[in-house]
């Protein structure tokens, strides 16, 4: 949600810095965002995020929760996950994945 709701200063440099990127949104994440639109405190951010990702590719990662599905996928296939969730970041790195995160309004790659 942070990517959709905040100004990121180095977003145009991502492909130069990291290489070719393709954002893929798990269907389970879209469903969680749709559910968050029902929460008055999170409606605006969730709606903006859904609008931002509407043309992104999706995949059918499944799991008990979005976090579980993402972790299982990364453990089996590797990859990079964009998240601001500190606990999820640590788990992703522990299973061998990398994380795109935002720090000081810039996107950074964490291994």
Per-residue model confidence as pLDDT tens digits over 32-41: 999 999 999 9
Q: Is residue 100 one of the residues assigned to a domain?
A: no
Q: Is residue 96 one of the residues assigned to a domain?
A: no
pTM: 0.76
d(CA 40, CA 87): 25
What is residue 7's three-state secondary structure?
coil
Q: Is residue 94 one of the residues assigned to a domain?
A: no
**4-46, pLDDT tens digit by residue?**
555 555 455 555 456 667 788 999 999 999 999 999 999 999 9
- pLDDT band of 94, cuts 50, 70, 90: very high
Q: Is residue 88 one of the residues assigned to a domain?
A: no
> Residue 24: which domain range?
2-78
Q: How many Cα neighbours within 13 Å face the side chain of 79? A: 16
How many structural domains compose the chain? 1
Find all residues with CB under 8 Å of 24, minimum gap 6, and list them: 56, 57, 58, 59
């Amino acid at each position: 949600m942070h990517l959709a709701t905040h100004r990121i200063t180095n977003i145009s440099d991502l492909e130069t810095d990291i290489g070719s990127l393709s954002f893929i949104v798990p269907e389970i994440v879209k469903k969680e965002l749709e559910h968050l639109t029902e929460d008055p405190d999170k409606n605006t951010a969730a709606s903006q995020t859904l609008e931002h990702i509407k043309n992104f590719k999706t995949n059918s990662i499944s799991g008990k929760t979005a976090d579980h599905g993402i972790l299982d996928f990364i453990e089996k296939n590797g990859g990079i996950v964009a998240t601001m969730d500190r606990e999820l970041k640590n788990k992703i790195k522990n299973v061998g994945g990398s994380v795109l995160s935002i720090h000081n309004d810039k996107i950074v790659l964490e291994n």
